[in-house]
Amino acid sequence: MRTTFLILSIFLAHNAFTQLTYQNLFVDYDSAIVYKNLKLIPIKWKPSGGGAAAVMPDMMSFGQALQQGMITVQERGTSSVENVHWLSLYNNSNKNIYVSSGEVVAGGRQDRIVTRDTIIAARSGRVDLPVMCVEEERWSEKDKKFVYQQMANTHLRKTLDLGKNQVLIWQEISRQLEAGKIKNKTLAYLSRQQDKNYTALQMEYWNFFQKKFYRKVRSDSNIVGMVCMTSDKIIGSDIFAASNLFYGQLQPMLMGYIEEAIVFGGSCSVADVQVRKYLDQFLKDEKQQAEFVKKNGKLFKAGGVVYHITTY
C-alpha cells in the first residue's frame, strides 16, 4: 500500500497535480448542464496548471472493478455480528482500486455503505474495508453475492462523513423512507429502487447527463469534478486529482445527486454568483480548504497528494 501511494505521489508531483485549488482549477460556468431539478457545473484542470489533467491508467473505480469481476467482496469471518462494520475485499487484479466513502453495495448478510476513501493496491489480496449498515432489519445467516449499486444521496453521505455514527445513519434512512412513504421490511436504504416510477425517472436523468458528458464533454479530458445544485441550494461538489478518477466515479456519483434532486429538490434557481461564493470557501488555498472541508465534507489525502474532495 505504501509503495502504491509513493508511486502515485511521485507521478502527480512531477506533473504539478498536487493542489486542487484555483491555482490549477477552472470552474466552467458556461458549460453548465441542466435537466429538470438538477444543475451541474463542470470543474476543469487549467491548461496553465501543467497541461492536461492527470490520468492514472493503473487506477480503476470500485464500481468498475466489482462489476467487471476484477475484485470480490465478502463478509468478514463468520456470521457473528461483530464483523458487521467490515467487509473483506480481494483485489487479485493488476489495477489499483479507488474506493470512496458513500458507495453502496447490496447483498451479503445486509447492505452496506463504505465509510472512508481508500486505495487498494494491485494484487494486494485481502483488504478489510470499513463499512456501515444501510439495511437495519436484515442479518441473514447466508451471504448473498455483493452487487455494486451507487453513491448514496447527499443527505446520507453528509450524515456518514460528518457523523460517522451507525445510529445516525439508520435514523436518516428511516426519515427518508417515511418521508417517501416507502414500505420495506428490512428498512433498506435501497428499497426506493423497487419503485418502477422512481427508477424510470432516475434513468431519464442519467440518460440525459450521460449524453452530455460522454458525447460532448468527454472530448474535454480536463474535467476533474463538478458542483451540483437543485432548487435554491448547492447540494455538493466532488473534485478528483485525475480525469479518469472523475469519469470512473461519474455514474455512481450522478445517481446519488439525481436521487437527491428527485427526492429533495425542485427547479434550480441558484445563480452563478452563489456558486462562486460557495466554491471560494475552499478553492482559494489549501489551508482554507482543509479548514472548510473538516466541517463541511471530506478530503482524502495520501502521500502528500489530495486525491478527492467532497463538500456539502
* Each residue's pLDDT tens digit, 17-36: 468 999 999 999 999 999 99
Predicted local distance difference test score (pLDDT) of residue 245: 93
Q: Look-up: residue for cell 434532486?
A: 261
The alpha carbon dihedral of 268, 259, 246, 238 has a sign of positive
Predicted local distance difference test score (pLDDT) of residue 50: 54
Predicted local distance difference test score (pLDDT) of residue 80: 55
Count of CA atoms in the C-beta half-sphere (13 A) of 193: 12
Taking the model in full, what pTM does it have? 0.91
Q: Are 18 and 305 in contact (CB under 8 A)?
A: yes
Q: Residues 60-74: pLDDT tens digits?
A: 999 999 999 999 999
Q: Is the pLDDT of residue 145 over 50?
A: yes
* Strand bridging mode 59-61 / 96-99: parallel
